[in-house]
Structure formats: structure tokens, C-alpha cells
Amino acid sequence: MTASWLTPRRIRAHALLLAICLWTVYAIDMSTPGLRDRNGLIKGTDFLHFYTLGNIVLQKRGDLLYNIQAQAALLRKLVPEAAGNLYVPLYGPQVSLLFAPFARMSYPTALTVWLLLNAVIYGACGYLVWKQCSNLRGEPWTVLVAALAFPGFFHLILWGQTSGLALLCFTLAFLALSEDRPYLAGIAIGSLIFKPQLGLAPAIIFLFAREWKVIATAILAALAQLSVGWLFYGTPVTSEYVRSLRHVGDVMALLEPRPYQMHSLRAFWSLLIPWTPPAFALYALTAATILALAVRCWRSTATLGLRYSALMLATVLVAPHLTVYDLLILAPAFLLMADWAVGGAERSAAMMSVLLYLCYPLFLLGPLARITHLQLSVIAMTGLLFLIDRDRKMSSNPYIT
């Protein structure tokens, strides 16, 4: 049972109201003529960076991949309305190759195609995971409306980011594990190398859980993806990529201009404590605790859905850099936890339902942390992980494949 006041009808109503509000705001914001929205930002925001990377491929100018100022000059030529935009080039060389086809289109067309592609990925991933949730199959409309209202999806479309591809990797990994195909799961996890911060927690969890088949193919998949960029650009560009990663701390202020939009333990402590050394020490300590809980959950007899949810929560919490649009990867975990809550023990199910419900507004209230210096979403996600850890022995019933 869920919390008595969180009935499916009420959840649908609240989710519908939230979805209407979010997408109405988006429509109004994007309704301006030209490429600037009502806030003066370039439409698609981060997609402009990927569009520039794709053009670097077409121009065969690998020397520009990790040159901030040179890229800024190029994007001004490509999209004059974007003059003044600056992006920190930290993606692997292989990412630029993915966006080469988009660079052959005009920016508005490329952006439209990219957003539609991400919407299809999100819908497909949600549908495939929902099919694994036996307790939610009778609530298709509730799931659909909740998916439309999910803040991670809203911010993915708003920012034009690559989190949809990360969601696809995590979804394919879950489906492979549900069919006892660890090698395929490893390939999906290793493909996250384009966003290496999202692979940190899975790598540690699978290592301590001795999932050697997953680890082996994950390493091979990551190396194969990086090799594509190396073969295309050569060693000098690859070396520049490695150098950029080593010196990421030097550009952190540019990389995270809005710290209140970050939703991880590192951001939590950085917002709460203005002194870097103690904030980082607390991040390291709490991240180690979260990883230990996630490892314990993974090695337990709990259902795969619950164990994978613990892994996903740890992924978000431990990531050294996680912006609001990356919360999209939690969509499968929310489905799996909701499915368990419907059929779980009454007290635990009620607590999990309430926390899942609260995460929706808390993911949107990040800007409030500018005043409170407290990122409440991190507390809610940590609470969900502790609930899974507490009830892992009670959750071996086959609610989830």
C-alpha cells in the first residue's frame, strides 16, 4: 500500500497540474522570434556547444576541440545570435563525431531534431522499464502523466543536453541484467564514458560486488568508444582531452555557473559550507557511506529493481558533477521504486511513496538553495537509499523481474 493520501487519482491530478505548468512555461519561454528565449538565453542552451563540436568535425579542425576561445569565435560565426556564449570543452573527442550529422543542418532544425530524438529515447526507456513493473501495469495513465511531469525530462528539453543518451545506457544495462546478460550490461555501462562522472558509482559498486563480467565488457566498451575519437583525430587531440580532464578544477567556476542547479553530495556540501577543504572532506566521507550502502544493497537478496534503484541513487549522489538535467537518469529508478512501494510493506511503502512524491518539487526548487544553502533534493534521495538499504531483506518477493 502507498500513503493513504497518495491515491493514483491524486497523483495523476498533481502530476497533470505540474506538467501543464512546466510545459506552458517552456512554450511561453520559447515563443519569441529568433533564437533568443524570453530570458535572453540561446534556445537549446547547451546544444549550441554540441552543434559547434559537430562543425569542428566537418571542418576537420581537431585543434579547436579543447580551445575555449577558438570555439567561442567559431560559434559566433555559426550562430551570430549566440555571441557572448562560452562553453567549457570537456567532452571526449568521440562526442563531436556524434553531432557531425546535426552540424549539416541549420541550428534551429538541428535543435528540433535533437529534442525530438531525446523525447523518443525518454518515452521508449520509460515504456520498456514500465513493462517490467508488474504492480504499475494497471496504471498506464498515471505513469504517463508522471513521466511528462518529471523535472529531469523538462530540464533535458530546456537545456538540450546529452542526458537522454545516459538514460538509454542505464536502461539498456537494467534490461540486460534482468535477462541475466552481464556482458551486454557491461557494454551499456561502459558506453557512459562520454559522461564519465556518471560511471563512477557503478564502477565502484560492480568492483566491490565482484561483477567481473560487467566490469570487463564495460572497460572494453569505454576503450572502444575513446578509440573512435583517437583514430579520427590522432594522439595530440586525445592528449589534450586527458589534459583537460586533469585540470578540470581550474575551470570549475565556468563549468558550474549555477551551483544551486547541482544535485549531488559535492554540491550539497559546497552550498552548505563555504570553505572548500572541509566541504570536500564531508563530500568524500558521505560519498563513501553512500557507496557502502549501495554495495550492500547490490549484494543483498533484494529484487533487481530495488538493487538497481540503489545503484542509480548512488550514481546521482556520488557524481562529482551533476546538473539538474542529469536527474533524467533517475526515471527508471523512480518507476522501479514506485512499483515496489505499491506491493511493499505498509510503513516502508508509505515512506518511499512520500519521498518519491517530494522529489518532484524538490528537483525544481534548486534555486531556493541560493537563499537556504541547503539542497533538499539530496536529502530526499539519500532518504530513499536508506529506505532501500533498511528493507532490502524484506524485498525478495518477485514484484520486479
* Residue pLDDT, tens place only, 220-230: 999 999 999 99
Q: Tell me the three state secondary structure of residue 400.
A: strand
Contact present, 121 and 167 (Cβ < 8 Å): yes
Are 1 and 348 contacting, i.e. CB atoms less than 8 angstroms apart?
no
pLDDT at residue 244 tops 70: yes
Q: What is the pTM of this model?
A: 0.94
Please provide the average confidence, as pLDDT, over all residues in the chain: 93
Domain ranges within the chain, ordered by starting residue: 8-33+115-394
pLDDT band, very low/low/confident/very high, at 398 (cuts 50, 70, 90): very low
Task: Examine the pLDDT at 5 and tell me if it is beyond 90.
Answer: no
Per-residue pLDDT averaged across 8-35, rounded?
Answer: 95
The pLDDT of residue 341 is above 80:
yes
- 386-400 burial, b for 16+ CB within 10 Å, e for fewer? bbbbebbeebeeebb
Residue 160 has pLDDT above 70, yes or no: yes
Structure confidence at residue 49 as a pLDDT band (50, 70, 90): very high
Of the CA atoms within 13 Å of residue 180, those in its CB half-sphere come to 1
pLDDT of residue 397: 44
**Rounded to 5 degrees, what angle do the CA atoms 348, 349, 353 make?**
120
Higher pLDDT, 363 or 391: 363
Whether the per-residue pLDDT at 396 is higher than 50: the answer is no
pLDDT at 25 over 80: yes
Res 150 pLDDT > 60: yes
The pLDDT of residue 3 is 57
Look at residue 253 in the predicted model and tell me its pLDDT: 79
Across 117-121, 215-219, 343-347, least confident range:
343-347
- Average pLDDT score over residue span 101-114: 97
Q: What's the grid cell of residue 47? A: 546544444
More confident residue, 141 or 7: 141
pLDDT of residue 394: 55
Q: So what's the pLDDT on residue 1?
A: 43
270-283 mean pLDDT: 95
Q: Which residues contact 401 (CB under 8 A, 6 or more apart)?
A: 132, 134, 178, 304, 305
pLDDT at 239 over 50: yes
Print burial letters for 208-247: b (CB count within 10 Å at least 16), e (below 16): ebebeebbebbeebbeebbeebbebbeeebbebbeebeee
Q: Looking at the predicted structure, is the pLDDT value of residue 133 above 70?
A: yes
pLDDT at 243 exceeding the cut of 90: yes
Check residue 346 and give its pLDDT: 63
Q: Kindly state the DSSP code that residue 188 receives in the 8-state scheme.
A: H
